[in-house]
Amino acid sequence: MANYLDPEEQLFQAYQALQSSDPYAARRMLTTAGGMAPGAGLMEAMGLYPRAEGGYEPSLGQNIRQGEIANSLLQLLGAGGDMAMATGALAPVGMMMKAAAQGGKALKAGSKASKAAPKAPRMSAAEARESGYWHDIGAGKKLPVPISQMSAEREPVRGLLDRITIDPEKMQGGSIIPFAGDRSIAGQNLLGIGGYRFDNPVYLEGGYDFMRTHSPEGTVWASNQGAAQALQNRINKAAGDFSGDVYGVYSAMGPLAMDYNVMMADALFEQIKNSKITKKAMQEFDKELRAVRPEWKGIGNPESRAQLEANGALRTAFVDRMKLDKFQDANFPNIAYTRWALTDPKLLNEPMYSSGLAIGRMSPGSELVFNPLTPHKTYDSQLRGQYMGGFDQSIPREIMFPDWYRQRRAEGRPESGDTYSFMRAKPIQQTNQQWLDGLMNYLGR
């Protein structure tokens, strides 16, 4: 029987393309295939071969200046092969191989002159992961240093309610809804990253611990108005369909969700102040960003930071452009390192939509709060509720919301679509005896 991809799974593939480690997968397939064509080697050596992310692959001269010895040697060989095909002779290949064999010393000398940001040594994927250079927070790129060697300076600045370990039995007889949120820290100032101290601290707002900072003010969640109202509608439905309390359960989004947050843009700007970025590189970045967001005022504009704070789509594009290799190599702040500095250590290695570190009792029938005592810089709306506690560890989503997963399997829906569908569905799970037994069995194991 032929494989059938229903519309939901097609949407999921589109979602994966945006959130996965390779957001340019389709174009990368084309450029990779094109690299096999005659003449591609010469084009790449000259800096004329297009790259999937936009722009062109580094030329032979650029690779030499940046110390990319292996890439330079491969470009020499590729260009030699194209010359041989064009002339029908083997001499050019021999000349290129000789140059490659004898040119290592010159290439190494060129690499010493490079002042680009630190880069991970070349190694296999398995070696990179074993050494800590490979982690989901890098979104498919090797980290500049092993994740165990990353450092950040932070200080508590806001009191959090004491952490409470919730008893699942006390939740029995109600219902729960997943509250998808990023993995950021709450209640602390970020003072610096990797030994570079900021001129101005960046306040970290959470994250799952937003519940502990804001519950005394009567709110436990923040989001943009549309998303917040959708959650409140689900709370109202759960209260109408079932008895008992309705709980909002924090569920961890993927590492890339951090890119939308104002905290991310602020931390990048603080690093830019102390980075050795040339005026030409900044102009090139502004040009690249304006190609997708024409309203961008420019890195050097004093209004640009406020502009980013007010424009979520612009923030996402700002990070998306800055993570391109050509800007990372030009001493722009490292995106993965900055994500790490904002991330709560408890969530660094958790699977997507792991749930339960924070749980709030919600208020069915309430209006959204648009003028909270303490606003969230990223989101304009907050939901009313009370922090109840959380589990000592994250719970897999299929354990926390088992009915929804059982229904998908019964309908023959493939597991490949679970992530996108879960995010869209915001399933309501009754906290009945079957739910309690499954959760207690998992915690017991």
DSSP string, 41-54: HHHHHTT-SB-TTS
Domain boundary among 285, 320, 342: 342
- Do 231 and 292 have their domain in common? no
Percent of the chain past pLDDT 90, that is, above it, reads 67
- Identify which of 114, 178, 349, 145 has the alpha carbon closest to the alpha carbon of residue 255: 349
State how far the Cα of 147 lies from the Cα of 248, in Å rounded to an integer.
32
Residue 49 CB-half CA count within 13 A: 25
Q: State the pLDDT confidence band at 131, using cuts at 50, 70 and 90.
A: confident
- Do 214 and 293 have their domain in common? no
Domain boundary among 342, 358, 391: 342
Q: Which of 19-33, 170-184, 242-256, 372-386 has the lowest mean pLDDT?
A: 19-33
Find the mean pLDDT for residues 345-351.
95
Q: State the pLDDT confidence band at 251, using cuts at 50, 70 and 90.
A: very high
Cis amide prior to 195 (ω within 30 degrees): no
- Do 315 and 349 have their domain in common? no
- Do 230 and 265 have their domain in common? no
User: What residues have CB less than 8 Å from 101, skipping those under 6 apart?
Assistant: none
Domain boundary among 310, 342, 374: 342
Residue 369 domain flag: yes
What is 398-424 written as a DSSP string?
HHHSHHHHHHHHHTT--GGGHHHHHHH
pLDDT above 50 (res 67): no
- Do 159 and 267 have their domain in common? no
- Do 235 and 364 have their domain in common? yes
Residue 17 domain flag: no
- For 420, the token pair is 């996108």
Residue 129 domain flag: no
CB 305, CB 265: distance < 8 Å: yes
Residue 149 domain flag: no
Q: State the pLDDT confidence band at 207, using cuts at 50, 70 and 90.
A: very high
- Do 248 and 348 have their domain in common? yes
Averaged pLDDT score across all residues of the chain: 82
Find the mean pLDDT for residues 135-139.
92
Residue 126 domain flag: no
- Residue 84 CA to chain centroid, in angstroms? 44
- Residue 61: the pLDDT is 61
- Do 290 and 355 have their domain in common? no
- Do 243 and 165 have their domain in common? yes
Angle at 398 between CA 246 and CA 428, to 5 degrees: 25
Radius of gyration, alpha carbons of the chain: 25
Q: State the pLDDT confidence band at 159, using cuts at 50, 70 and 90.
A: confident
Residue with the two structure tokens 């940001």? 117
The DSSP symbol for 393 reads S
Based on the structure, what is the number of domains in the chain?
3
State how far the Cα of 109 lies from the Cα of 105, in Å rounded to an integer.
6
- Do 335 and 357 have their domain in common? no
Its sign, for the CA torsion 406, 408, 411, 413, is negative
Q: State the pLDDT confidence band at 413, using cuts at 50, 70 and 90.
A: very high
- Residue 27: the pLDDT is 44
Find the mean pLDDT for residues 144-148.
93
- Do 398 and 426 have their domain in common? yes
- Do 435 and 334 have their domain in common? no
Residue 119 domain flag: no
> Which range marks the domain in which residue 49 is found?
30-112
State how far the Cα of 84 lies from the Cα of 70, in Å rounded to an integer.
21
Inter-CA distances, 253 with 219, 309, 339, Å: 21, 21, 13
- Residue 351: the pLDDT is 93
- Residue 245: the pLDDT is 98
- Residue 128: the pLDDT is 80
Residue 196 domain flag: no
**b/e burial code for range 173-185 (CB count within 10 A of at least 16 → b):** ebbbbbbbbbbbb
Helix, strand, or coil (residue 341): helix
Find the mean pLDDT for residues 254-278.
94
CB 117, CB 271: distance < 8 Å: no
Inter-CA distances, 268 with 148, 175, 247, Å: 21, 40, 35
- Identify which of 71, 74, 39 has the alpha carbon closest to the alpha carbon of residue 58: 71
CB atoms within 10 A of CB 21: 13
Q: State the pLDDT confidence band at 59, using cuts at 50, 70 and 90.
A: low
Residue 150 domain flag: no
Name the more confident of 79 and 283.
283
